Structure 1
Amino acid sequence: MSLSSRTAVAIHALTLLGRRHETSLTSAEIADSLESNPVLVRRILGSLRDADLVRSTEGRGGGWSLARAPREITLYDAFAAVEPGPIISRHPHPPSASCEVGRNIQALLEVEFQDAERAMAERLAATTIAHLLGRVTDIERELGLTNR
């Protein structure tokens, strides 16, 4: 199973915007931090804007900023904004009804998958962007890379 990288990109962007809250950042500046393409970043930011997590301003000096305080944005908010559908893929087509496993597996897996998805959602909802900002600051301090 492989999840997309959209959630990681979204959380990275939100954390960067929280860290640099004094100014707006362009999608190119965010893409530089991600070492990614600004077009991809704009798509992710557009989804975050649709979820009211970020806002954008156009024109000179414009860019992206958080729409809420970092303590009010959870990692689950970011995930839900950018990931469509269930976390774990289901059977692409119904398995064989003539097989004892095939006719029962979907119902069995659905319970397991829903429990796993619920656990992941609860874990992501327990962490905010403010938590990540604090951890970034702690790591930078430990490494002697900040004066804060």
Structure 2
Amino acid sequence: MSANSRMTIAVHVLTWIALVHGRGRDVVTSDQIATSVATNPVVIRRSLADLRKAGLVTVRQGAGAGYTLARAPESIALLDVFQAVHDEPLFALHRSEPNQVCPVGRGIQPALRHVYTDAEEAFRRELAGVSIADVLRDTLAPGSG
């Protein structure tokens, strides 16, 4: 099973927009962002669509078209980004009910449900405590790259 990089790409997109905005550019294009991410602009446009739907970026049409942050980077938590791009629980139980005659089959879901709930809550708390501004600061810190 491979890891999903949608979250990483979305954080990269928002962090890059925050950087260029801080350097005086109002809007950026998906092509410009794709250069930083080193991916196809179509991938970036899909990510931007999720971020726009979540209210994290806005799009400007017409002359000077492009994307900008909808909120200050300090007010965009990584949890906001995660919720924009990930619409499923982190962990899933069996797709069908395990054998209830088997002692493991009978007890595995209740045992895991508690662990999974606690783990997801901790994960969400961690993401809620980190903003796009934090990621930008850490990205630009000496020794980070």
TM-score, length-scaled by structure 1: 0.89
- Do residues 58 (structure 1) and 61 (structure 2) align? yes
Q: Residue 3 of structure 1: CA displacement? A: 4.2
Choose which of 117, 128, 132 in structure 2 pairs with 1:129: 132
Q: Deviations over 1:78-106 (max 9, x none)?
A: 00011011012321221111110001101
RMSD: 1.7
Matching residue of 2:44: 41
Structure 1 portions without partners, runs of 5+: none
Instruction: Give the SS at the match of 2:141.
Output: helix
Structure 2 Cα separation of the partners of residues 49 and 73 of structure 1? 13
Amino acid at match of 1:34: V
Structure 2 portions without partners, runs of 5+: none
Matching residue of 1:81: 84
Structure 1 Cα separation of the partners of residues 27 and 103 of structure 2? 58
Matching residue of 2:16: 16
Moved over 6 A (4+): none
Identity, in percent, stands at 41
Structure 2 Cα separation of the partners of residues 80 and 2 of structure 1? 20
Identify the range of structure 1 (11-20 vs 54-63) with the bigger mean alpha-carbon deviation.
54-63
Amino acid at match of 1:91: H
Matching residue of 1:68: 71
Matching residue of 1:31: 34
Amino acid at match of 2:100: A
TM-score, length-scaled by structure 2: 0.91
Q: Residue 2 of structure 1: CA displacement? A: 4.9
Structure 2 Cα separation of the partners of residues 106 and 125 of structure 1? 28
